[in-house]
Chains A and B, each alone.
Chain A
Amino acid sequence: MQLFIEQVLNGIGNGVVYGSVALALVLIFRTTGVLNFAQGEMALFSTYISWKLTETGLPVVGAIVISMLIAFVAGGVLQFTLIRPMEGRSQLNVVIVTLGLFLAINSLAQLFFGTDPQLMPSAFPSGGVDLFGGARIQKDTIGLIVVLLVECLALWVLLNKTKLGLKLRAVAADPVSARLHGIRAGWMLMFGWALAAMIGALAGSLVAAERTGFDATLMQIILVYALAAAALGGFDSIWGAVICGLIVGIADALTIQYVDALDGIEVVVPLGLILVVLIVSPNGLFGKRTVERV
Chain B
Amino acid sequence: MATEQTGAATEPVLGVAPPDVMVAPAAAGTTPPLWPPVPRVVFIARVIIGVALSAAALYAPFYFQPTMNRVLSQAIYLAIAAMGLNLLLGFNGQVSIGHGAFYGVGAFTSAILMIDHGWSFEPTIIASALLTGVFGLLVGLPALRVRGLYLALVTLGLAVLFPRVAQKFVDGTGGRPLLRPSRKEFSSLIEGLADDQWVYFLSLAIMVVLFFLAWNLTRGRVGRAMVAVRDQELAASTVGVNLAGTKVATFAISAAYAGVAGSLSVMVDALADGTNPVLYFQRSIEFLVAMTIGGAATMLGPAVGALALVLLRRNTQDLIEGKEILAPAIYGASLIAFVFVLPEGVVGGVRRLLAWLGRRSSAKGRPPTHPIPDDSHDIGGPHERT
Contacts and interface: CB of A to CB of B under 8 A. Distances in A.
Touch between chains A and B, by CB atoms below 8 Å: yes
Interface stretch (A12-20, A57-65, A223-231): A223-231
Contact of B7 (A86, A178, A220, A236): A236
B70 interface: no
Contact of A90 (B4, B19, B152, B165): B19
B173 interface: no
A235 B16 contact: no
Interface string A92-103: 110111011111
Given A35-B152, A96-B339, A103-B332, A236 B10 contact: yes
Interface stretch (A134-142, A239-247, A275-283): A275-283
Nearest to B291: A92
Given A35-B13, A267-B164, A92 B296 contact: yes
Most chain B C-beta atoms within 10 Å of own C-beta, residue among A95, A102, A111, A267: A95
B150 interface: yes
Given A99-B289, A172-B6, A275 B333 contact: no
A85 B12 CA distance: 18
B19, B331, B335 pick with most chain A CB within 10 angstroms: B335
Nearest to B337: A100
A170 interface: yes
Interface string A43-70: 0000000000000000000000000000
Contacts of B152: 35
Contacts of A274: 153-154, 157
B245 interface: no
Contact of B14 (A95, A172, A227, A231): A95
A96 B336 contact: yes
A294 B25 CA distance: 13
B55 interface: no
B6 A169 contact: yes
Interface string A255-277: 00000000111011011001100
Interface in A169-200: 169-170, 172-174, 177-178
A166 interface: yes
A103 B339 contact: no
A12 to B, nearest CB: 22
Contacts of B145: 278-279, 282
A82 B336 contact: yes
Given A90-B16, A231-B153, A294-B232, A283 B9 contact: no
B12 A91 contact: yes
Interface stretch (B59-67, B203-211, B260-268, B319-327): B319-327
A104 B328 contact: yes
B190 interface: no
Interface string B233-255: 11100100000000000000000
B155 to A, nearest CB: 10
Contacts of A291: 7
Nearest to A216: B325
Interface string B73-102: 000000000000000000000000000000
A96 B293 contact: yes
Interface string B173-206: 0000000000000000000000000000000000
A111 B285 CA distance: 23
Contact of B323 (A102, A111, A235): A111
Nearest to A287: B7
Given A90-B19, A91-B16, A271-B161, A235 B156 contact: no
A278 B146 contact: yes
Contact of A107 (B18, B156, B329): B329
B335 A100 contact: yes
A100 B164 contact: no
A97 B336 contact: yes
B325 A101 contact: no
Given A82-B336, A288-B4, A93 B292 contact: yes
Given A90-B16, A107-B329, A100 B142 contact: no
Given A231-B154, A235-B150, A107 B332 contact: yes
Nearest to A85: B340
A290 B8 contact: yes
Contacts of A110: 325
A139 B324 CA distance: 40
A92 B142 CA distance: 23
Given A90-B296, A107-B325, A282 B14 contact: no
Contacts of B339: 86, 93, 96-97
A294 B234 contact: yes
A162 interface: no
B332 A92 contact: no
A101 B147 CA distance: 25
24 contacts: A34-B13, A82-B336, A89-B19, A90-B296, A91-B14, A96-B288, A96-B293, A100-B333, A103-B332, A103-B335, A108-B326, A115-B325, A173-B2, A174-B8, A227-B153, A227-B156, A264-B167, A271-B160, A275-B154, A279-B146, A282-B146, A287-B7, A288-B4, A292-B234
Given A173-B6, A236-B10, 4 more contacts: A100-B336, A104-B333, A275-B142, A282-B145
